[in-house]
């Protein structure tokens, strides 16, 4: 199996909408990359173009340096799993898997061995005789995955395959997808708008916005070193606080002066800005500290090891703090607390 995938400067327009706008991406052999972004940012369009189900206006799609832009979908050797269960309703689970093999001309004895192996691999060895309507949503998606892998595709494309499943099954199936992907070592592109899902299973996540690539990085790098304010706001949660830039590369926010991230938008001294501060970058302090901000706890949510506090400060939107549950156990709604920003630097962006 080979299979490095490259998208070079793809443009796809639908009338005045630029679904993809100079979109480039490289997925290494065996890598699991998620396309993550808000609704309408071009994720599905990119996936359809990779599969050959749609065609770009400009740019190229390369697999192992070979331009496949003009190769029709049925000759691209890519396995796909869609959001909606797309199994043939009148074929059993086993027949659904074997179908792809027979289309590719596999001998029936080989088909049988392979289809049974795949049923085993997706954890449904005794479900081969069931029709799709006799399977749960999660089981149907496992069969769809087995079918997509049956003919040994070069690349696996997954378009929101978990979105119709309930929360617990989603987690279970996403872990299985990742296990099987690693097992096969297959180059995979996974479309989702769920950041937790993307972060949980990907080698790298490509964040898209308005048809463009904002940043592609490992989940931890995206979270810890966002390179655009869009990524900082979209990945993880952040408080949006008003601030003012001063001349020394820092920003005045709440009662503090904090360094600004080197990736922040370049704005002049005195500019009013929005400062993005993660809930875990705020820390409780004693009332006496000079630079501390005081507020009243309006909300408290217990999340197991952590808890969040929603704190009212003047007429600012509610400010969220993420704390160790042990540190917040004596804090209740209505209490006055003091906190500071503990991050060395913060991302700022122009006020919208």
In the complex, the residues that contact ligand ATP under the rule CB under 6 A are 14, 17, 19, 37, 39-45, 193
CA distance 313 to 294: 7
Q: Which is nearer to ligand ATP, 69 or 256 (CB)?
A: 69
Minimum distance of ligand ATP from residue 47's CB (angstroms): 8
Q: Which is nearer to ligand ATP, 18 or 257 (CB)?
A: 18
Minimum distance of ligand ATP from residue 206's CB (angstroms): 12
C-beta of residue 256 within 8 angstroms of C-beta of residue 247 = no
Minimum distance of ligand ATP from residue 187's CB (angstroms): 20
Q: Which is nearer to ligand ATP, 10 or 121 (CB)?
A: 10
Among 223, 254, 262, 247, which Cα is nearest to 347's?
A: 262
Minimum distance of ligand ATP from residue 112's CB (angstroms): 37
Minimum distance of ligand ATP from residue 85's CB (angstroms): 17
C-beta of residue 119 within 8 angstroms of C-beta of residue 93 = yes
Q: Which is nearer to ligand ATP, 46 or 253 (CB)?
A: 46
Backbone angles phi, psi at 299, to 5 degrees: -145, 145
Q: Which is nearer to ligand ATP, 37 or 279 (CB)?
A: 37
Q: Which is nearer to ligand ATP, 1 or 17 (CB)?
A: 17
CA atoms lying within 13 Å on the CB side of residue 336: 7
Q: Which is nearer to ligand ATP, 37 or 128 (CB)?
A: 37
C-beta of residue 139 within 8 angstroms of C-beta of residue 87 = no
CA distance 199 to 257: 32
Minimum distance of ligand ATP from residue 19's CB (angstroms): 3
Which residue in this structure is represented by tokens 């085993």?
120
Minimum distance of ligand ATP from residue 138's CB (angstroms): 21
Distances in whole angstroms, Cα of residue 310 to Cα of each of 108, 278, 289: 62, 13, 21
For residue 184, count other CB atoms closer than 10 A to its CB: 17
Minimum distance of ligand ATP from residue 275's CB (angstroms): 28
Burial group, residue 119, by CB count within 10 angstroms (0-12, 13-18, 19+): buried
DSSP per residue over 66-128, as a string?
EE-TTS-GGGS-EEEE-SS----TTS-HHHHHHHHHHHTT--HHHHHHHHHHHHHHTT-TT-T
Minimum distance of ligand ATP from residue 229's CB (angstroms): 20
Token duo for residue 71: 């190769």
Residues with Cβ within 8 Å of residue 188, at least 6 apart in sequence: 27, 31, 32, 33, 155, 156, 157, 158, 181
Token duo for residue 184: 């096969």
Q: Which is nearer to ligand ATP, 204 or 320 (CB)?
A: 204
C-beta of residue 6 within 8 angstroms of C-beta of residue 189 = no
Q: Which is nearer to ligand ATP, 127 or 193 (CB)?
A: 193
């Amino acid at each position: 199996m080979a299979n490095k995938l490259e998208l070079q400067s793809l443009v796809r327009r639908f009338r005045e909408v630029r679904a993809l706008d100079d979109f480039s991406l490289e997925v290494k052999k065996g890598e699991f990359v998620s396309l993550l972004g808000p609704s309408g940012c071009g994720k599905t369009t990119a996936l359809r173009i990779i599969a050959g189900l749609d065609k770009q206006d400009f740019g190229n799609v390369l697999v192992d340096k070979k331009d496949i832009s003009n190769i029709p979908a049925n000759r691209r050797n890519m396995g796909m799993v869609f959001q909606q269960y797309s199994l043939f309703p009148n074929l059993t689970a086993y027949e659904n898997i074997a179908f792809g093999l027979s289309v590719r001309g596999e001998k029936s004895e080989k088909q049988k061995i392979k289809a049974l192996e795949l049923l085993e691999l997706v954890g449904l060895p005794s479900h081969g005789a069931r029709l799709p309507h006799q399977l749960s949503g999660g089981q149907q998606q496992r069969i769809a995955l087995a079918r997509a892998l049956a003919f040994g595709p070069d690349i696996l494309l997954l378009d929101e395959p978990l979105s119709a499943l309930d929360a617990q099954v989603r987690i279970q199936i996403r872990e299985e997808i990742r296990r099987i992907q690693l097992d096969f070592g297959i180059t995979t592109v996974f479309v989702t708008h769920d950041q937790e899902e993307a972060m949980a299973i990907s080698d790298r996540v490509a964040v898209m916005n308005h048809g463009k690539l904002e940043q592609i990085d490992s989940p931890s790098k995206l979270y810890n070193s966002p390179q655009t304010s869009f990524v900082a706001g979209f990945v993880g949660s952040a408080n949006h606080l008003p601030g003012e830039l001063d001349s020394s590369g820092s920003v005045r926010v709440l009662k503090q002066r904090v360094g600004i991230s080197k990736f922040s938008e370049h704005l002049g001294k005195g500019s009013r800005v929005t400062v993005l501060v993660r809930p875990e970058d705020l820390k409780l302090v004693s009332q006496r500290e000079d630079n501390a901000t005081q507020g009243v706890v309006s909300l408290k949510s217990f999340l197991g090891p952590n808890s969040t506090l929603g704190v009212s400060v003047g007429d600012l939107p509610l400010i969220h703090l993420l704390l160790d549950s042990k540190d917040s156990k004596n804090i209740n709604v209505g209490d006055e607390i003091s906190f500071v920003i503990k991050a060395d630097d913060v991302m700022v962006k122009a006020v919208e």
